Homo-oligomer: A and B are copies of this chain.
Amino acid sequence: MPPRRGSLKRGRQQRFHLLSQVHSTSPHGKAGLPSPPVQLPTRTVADLGERALIQRITARLVAPAWLVVGPGDDAAVVEPERGALDVFTTDVQVEGVHFDRRFVAPDAIGHRALAVNLSDLAAMGARPRAALLSLVLPDALDVATFDGLVDGLLAIASAYRVAVVGGNISRSPGPLVVDVTAIGTVRRRRVLTRSGARPGDRVYLTGTVGDGLAGLESLRDGGTQMMQAQEQRYLRPDPRVRAGLALGSHRAASACMDLSDGLADAVRQVAQASGAGITIDADALPIADPVRRWHEARGRDPIEAALQGGDDYELLFTSRPAHHGRLRGAQRAFGGLLVTRIGEVTRERRLLLRTGGGSRDLPEGYEHFR
């Protein structure tokens, strides 16, 4: 399911078309003030109103055949996939908590809002299908930012064939809040949960860790040439949907979870849900060289940073040694994505980090409010 760049491009053109339409017909200077000669006045979402904003989104939506009643009614009506289960998840992006508009572009806000939810579906082995979008917007938000946010969200929706089937727009007396509910589908025998790990299972990780934190820090510093790839991974994470689907369909994973709150947290959650322990090999952790150097230059252990940092939307999964063939089959199906064996599931219910110098307790993960 490669991103379909054609759709992204079409979306952007449509946006500019819409914007130019609005600018040419909008009642500027209605308070009697003359317009500045060059700069167009900033239009805010409060100027446009809720209904016009909703139409700006719905005009760009394509209705799949299984959508019986789409946006514009009291609720969306959807034909479930025959013989499959529904999968539901919701996750929110709050300005000042999950993103900073000074260095996260509007399209990245929209991209992230859907991506973090698709990452949750991926961790269940589910195929994404639909999304509901709840926007809580400050009155003063400019329409260009709104359009950019919608662009970013619809671009990744299109790439993963997700239909936006409903939503709502409301005012915010505080931060911008983007709340998304994602709906997926999975066959019963392909569901991946956190609770299936057994002692002796191997622990694997897709991609690399520590990139999200390094990218965020680099963006906060105003951007770094060396960290461009990590900045992109922070801004526009690519959820591991194909990997999750392949792990599920090949029945290659005994447990699976995404890394939204960091690797240490994911290890802890999978171990706890499975009633087992996990030992992680520090030396095996896939940390990109520039990320390693980034953390070392800040006097910080790259291993600790990779374990505790968030915003890496990779999958942690476990697999039985006897299912090595299944795992290879799954890997062939999801292509060039790196998969690294990083540890093992243990009978003793401890969470350990094994280093050259011995074993010690795994550090804690990230938690909101803490």
A residues adjacent to B (C-beta < 8 A): 45-46, 48-51, 53, 68-69, 72-80, 85-92, 94-98, 120-121, 123-124, 126, 130, 132-134, 136, 139, 165-175, 177, 179, 181-184, 186, 188, 191, 193-195, 256-258, 273, 367-370
Contacts and interface: CB of A to CB of B under 8 A. Distances in A.
Nearest to A50: B368
Given A73-B124, A74-B194, A165 B46 contact: no
Contacts of A175: 172-174
A3 B369 CA distance: 35
Contacts of A132: 88-90, 181
Nearest to A91: B168
A74 B258 contact: yes
A133 B91 CA distance: 10
A68 B186 CA distance: 11
Contact of A173 (B79, B94, B124, B370): B94
Contact of A78 (B69, B86, B167): B86
A239 B139 CA distance: 30
Copies, count: 2
Nearest to A132: B90
B165 A69 contact: no
Given A50-B368, A132-B90, A173-B97, A121 B75 contact: yes
B74 A179 contact: no
Contacts of A97: 170-173
A76 B88 contact: yes
B170 A98 contact: yes
A281 to B, nearest CB: 24
Given A73-B194, A92-B136, A168-B92, A370 B177 contact: no
Identify the 6 closest CB pairs spanning chains A and B, nearest first: A174-B174, A75-B89, A74-B123, A80-B80, A50-B368, A96-B173
A80 B87 CA distance: 10
A136 B367 CA distance: 14
A228 to B, nearest CB: 29
Contacts of A121: 74-75
A68 B188 contact: yes
Contacts of A77: 85-87, 124, 126, 186, 191
Indicate the member of A45, A49, A91, A179 with the most B CB atoms within 10 Å. Answer: A179
A76 B87 contact: yes
A339 B202 CA distance: 63
A273 B73 contact: yes
A326 B183 CA distance: 35
Nearest to A181: B181
Given A49-B368, A78-B86, A88-B183, 17 more contacts: A50-B367, A51-B367, A73-B124, A74-B258, A75-B121, A75-B123, A75-B124, A75-B182, A78-B88, A80-B86, A86-B86, A88-B130, A89-B166, A94-B170, A170-B368, A171-B369, A173-B174
A94 B171 contact: yes
